Structure 1
Amino acid sequence: MRRLFADTRPLQTPDFRRLWVANIVTVIGAQLTVVAVPAQIYAITGSSGMVGLTGLFGLVPLIVFGLWGGALADHMDRRRLLAITTLGLIVTSGLFWVQAFLGLNNVWVLLTLFSLQQAFFGVNQPTRTAILPKLLPADQLPAANALNMTVMSAGAIAGPLVGGALIPVLGYSWLYFADTLTLLATLYAVWRLPPLPVDRPRGAPGLKSVVEGLRYLGAHQILLLSFVVDLIAMIFGMPRALFPQMAHVSFGGPAEGGLQFALLYAAMPAGAVLGGVFGGWVSRVSRHGLAVLWAIVVWGAAMAVMGAAVGLAPWATNAMLGLALGMLVIGGAADMASAAFRQSILLGATDDAVRGRLQGVFIVVVAGGPRLADVVHGGAAEVVGPAWATGGGGLLVLTGIAVVAVASPAFRRYRVDLNGRAH
């Protein structure tokens, strides 16, 4: 049974355990905001295209500050940088609460605050992940990544379910206020960390440093392809921006949120939680490259079937809602596995002196890919509808992964031994 369930050895390390436990609280609050922002924009405008615009407003600061934040994480004490950016996230969450409390109902205020929040997020997340090899031995990194993904996904279930149900009752301000309070738990966990200086920092955290990190990435094919396959999966296969329209138009939910909306947002994280809880196998897989490819194949197939379910919803609404939710659960489990292995590849095959910068690229790809997908899917749905946008995207994922698998046998063969050494 221990081999079946998640590998919890990383939780024996106090610093990692405090960060992980704090995330249980913080991620729920963060997901309340993730649900509230698109729901509030859709309620104001009634347009999936405007909801998709959040992708653009989130992507630009994420790229700029994700890359620069990774450079900062390679030059200054990472504990101090985490504390500064966590305080920034608390302030931006508080501003979300203020605009909702005042009833401004201004889309551009929402989008501006969202951009500011993503700027702090872009610096915080690469720093947060770059510290893991300093806290844990190499053979525990896949398990640690799976545990982090499980917590994030559990919060992404609770957040949409609670948020989607409470938006019609309490309004948006209370959700933003809860996010502000829960971030204090992470601030405490960061404060308890020891100093985390960088091993042999190189140069200064400017544009040259960012370029050096990108050159390092370009010179390592396995690392580069781990980003390429995720971009294929997310840009073509993430229909998140269409959830408000699907919930209202395809599955008959209210325009301002409701149960259908909450279930669509919660289903994919539910799959990731199941994948994490029963993820003891990830520590025993050595062929990380092949595991990533198969996980994304499952993801793409699930999104293709989901598109068909949305298209057939008018003839059997409840049954097709169940099928769509089932595909999102399967996709979430596959995405959890893919992320755990890709993060392990990146942490294990990178020097500490450039680890922050490559984590910055990772955050740009992992968080920026879905935001770019919001723009692509939102625009496509305006032309061909949500069913074709979702199903067609899934088929494009399968096509893209097949091309990568054939073109790069080195990525397929990439593996690590039990001591974390790459081959």
Structure 2
Amino acid sequence: MSRRSESIAARASLWASKGFVRYYVFNLLSYIGSGISVVALPFYIYEQTSSPIFTSLVAASGSLPYLLFGLLAGVLADRGSRKRIMIGCVLFNAASLASVPVAAWLTGQASPWHLISVSFLAGVAFVGFDSASHGALLQLVGRRNLVAANSLLISSDTVIRIATPLFAGVMIATFGAEWAVAVTAVCYFLSAFMIGSIRQSFQPERPRSEAIPEGRLRKLGTDIREGLRFIWAEPRIRSLTLLGFGNSFVGGAVAGLLVVFAASELGIADEAPQFGLLLTAGSVGALLASLSLPSLRDRLRPGRITIAGLAVSGASLFGFTVSGALPTAAVFYLLWSVGSTLIIMNGITWRQQLTPDHLQGRVHAGGRMIAYGGSPFGALLGGLAAASFGAQPTFTLLSALMLLLFAIALRTPLRRDEAFDDNDSSQEPAGRKP
């Protein structure tokens, strides 16, 4: 059977699994909530402060928890119940977001520091959830179907993000940003119930000795070192992780300064629907990337996809910087999103395929902690640079950094990698028939 035929069969088999269908619906609810909050929180704080630094702090505080708690979350995901962790984190996230409209109702508006705190708490919830969800997906669909499953999930995410920024912009203009956040909280509450309805196990059978005894953590340091040792020993994962740090540094700065750039260079910050249109362009780019990844993986080695993504991101970010008008800026922002999404999606999927099941949580959390760890630094330093030199010079430096990462990637093992063998049945999770 050809790789293309296998890809089609993999996509068809996903819909035959009731567990995956419910997992998919749960993700749709989460995507709607996330798509609204990514507009509402930075817009709300910029509306109050008109400050690049405060606006960047929202992005920085949301990504900082992975740097602080990623390794611990990975151990918990590998040793504890993935399903309980996911449900608990989603409910915690919903409660944190719900505090924004409650504060606005009681006091008139949520303060900037309240919004920054909510962004941090939502980031904490995401760390725990993300560490558990990647191993859970592996158990639901199998290693061979990961590319198809991740492509479907991320393409659905991006379809929703095409519509939600415009919807969020209209909600903000009509009712206020705090009530847009309220809708986000409701979406997360509903998604928690959907996770609980999945009957299939989220983890393989394992010896009782591998579980975390109630009330205490055992061998924590050993467990953490085991995950980090695998990341460093596997040259492709090591390269993806280190390049990912630079990519997330730039991505954090772009996310933290997008409202500021729109205000100072494009003149659209006073119109929430127009800002939503810019984000929608980014979502279209992410959709194109997610839909194209399975075909690209059929034709190209995974390492080459990451290298190409870095080149596209650097060139298009420079074009976005000098665009000067919304239509041109939207096109270049779309292209930047294509490159950035390919880097992230390809890296996540390849890491899942290369990692044994018993290390999924630790390797994913450890690798993402390092790779995603660049985001808060990028958001914070980008905000300081924009406050000192302006948004456009800062974006010029960011595009130059992306092109430097592309040059570095050409000298890593990614350029000469051997593709993962999807037909290697030895890589299947324990307890799953090939």
Same fold flag (TM > 0.5): yes
Deviations 1:141-192 (A, max 9, x none): 1121122221222233222211123212110222111111111342133112
Cα distance in 1 between the residues matched to 2:299 and 2:75: 31
Cα distance in 1 between the residues matched to 2:105 and 2:177: 8
For residues 236 and 276 of structure 1, do their structure 2 counterparts lie closer, same or farther at Cα, with a shift above 3 Å needed? closer
For residues 300 and 86 of structure 1, do their structure 2 counterparts lie closer, same or farther at Cα, with a shift above 3 Å needed? same
8 Å Cα contact 1:51/1:241 also seen in 2: yes
For residues 87 and 276 of structure 1, do their structure 2 counterparts lie closer, same or farther at Cα, with a shift above 3 Å needed? same
Structure 1: gaps (5+ residues): 314-319
**SS in structure 2 at match of 1:417:** coil
Say yes or no: does 1:152 pair with 2:168.
no
8 Å Cα contact 1:217/1:224 also seen in 2: yes
Deviation at 1:139, TM superposition (A): 2.2
Cα distance in 1 between the residues matched to 2:58 and 2:178: 19
2:257 is matched by which residue type in structure 1? L
Say yes or no: does 1:397 pair with 2:412.
no
Say yes or no: does 1:297 pair with 2:300.
no
2:31 is matched by which residue type in structure 1? V
- Quick one: which of 11, 28, 41 aligns to 1:8? 11
- Quick one: which of 365, 370, 374 aligns to 2:375? 370
Tell me the equivalent position of 2:432: none
1:224 is matched by which residue type in structure 2? R
How well do the aligned residues superpose, as a CA RMSD in angstroms? 2.7
For residues 60 and 371 of structure 1, do their structure 2 counterparts lie closer, same or farther at Cα, with a shift above 3 Å needed? closer
What is the 5 A alignment of 1:158-197? 158-193=163-198, 194-197=200-203
For residues 182 and 366 of structure 1, do their structure 2 counterparts lie closer, same or farther at Cα, with a shift above 3 Å needed? farther
8 Å Cα contact 2:53/2:384 also seen in 1: yes
8 Å Cα contact 1:248/1:254 also seen in 2: yes
What is the 5 A alignment of 1:273-292? 273-285=287-299, 287-292=301-306
Cα distance in 2 between the residues matched to 1:414 and 1:369: 27
- Quick one: which of 261, 266, 279 aligns to 1:251? 266
Say yes or no: does 1:45 pair with 2:60.
no
Cα distance in 2 between the residues matched to 1:169 and 1:182: 20
- Quick one: which of 29, 32, 35 aligns to 2:36? 32
8 Å Cα contact 1:86/1:183 also seen in 2: yes
Deviation at 1:229, TM superposition (A): 1.6
8 Å Cα contact 2:60/2:375 also seen in 1: no
Cα distance in 2 between the residues matched to 1:374 and 1:327: 20
Cα distance in 1 between the residues matched to 2:425 and 2:242: 23
Deviations 1:91-143 (A, max 9, x none): 11211221233324411111122211211111001111121221123222112
Tell me the equivalent position of 1:271: 285
Structure 2: gaps (5+ residues): 213-217, 428-434
What is the 5 A alignment of 1:189-338? 189-193=194-198, 194-198=200-204, 199=206, 201=210, 204=218, 206-236=220-250, 238-255=253-270, 257-285=271-299, 287-309=301-323, 313=324, 320-338=325-343
**SS in structure 2 at match of 1:72:** helix
**SS in structure 1 at match of 2:421:** coil
Cα distance in 1 between the residues matched to 2:65 and 2:264: 32
**SS in structure 2 at match of 1:331:** helix
For residues 420 and 287 of structure 1, do their structure 2 counterparts lie closer, same or farther at Cα, with a shift above 3 Å needed? farther
8 Å Cα contact 1:142/1:282 also seen in 2: no
Q: What TM-score, normalized to structure 1?
A: 0.89
Cα distance in 1 between the residues matched to 2:230 and 2:4: 36
Using the aligned pairs only, state the percent identity. 23
8 Å Cα contact 2:59/2:255 also seen in 1: no
2:375 is matched by which residue type in structure 1? P
Cα distance in 2 between the residues matched to 1:195 and 1:30: 26
Deviations 1:353-402 (A, max 9, x none): 11101221344356544333221221221222222211321121111221
8 Å Cα contact 1:79/1:190 also seen in 2: yes
Tell me the equivalent position of 1:128: 133
Deviations 1:389-417 (A, max 9, x none): 113211211112212312x2455323123
2:307 is matched by which residue type in structure 1? L
Which range moves more in the overlay, 206-215 or 345-354?
A: 206-215
- Quick one: which of 138, 142, 147 aligns to 1:142? 147
Q: Aligned pair count?
A: 411
Tell me the equivalent position of 1:316: none
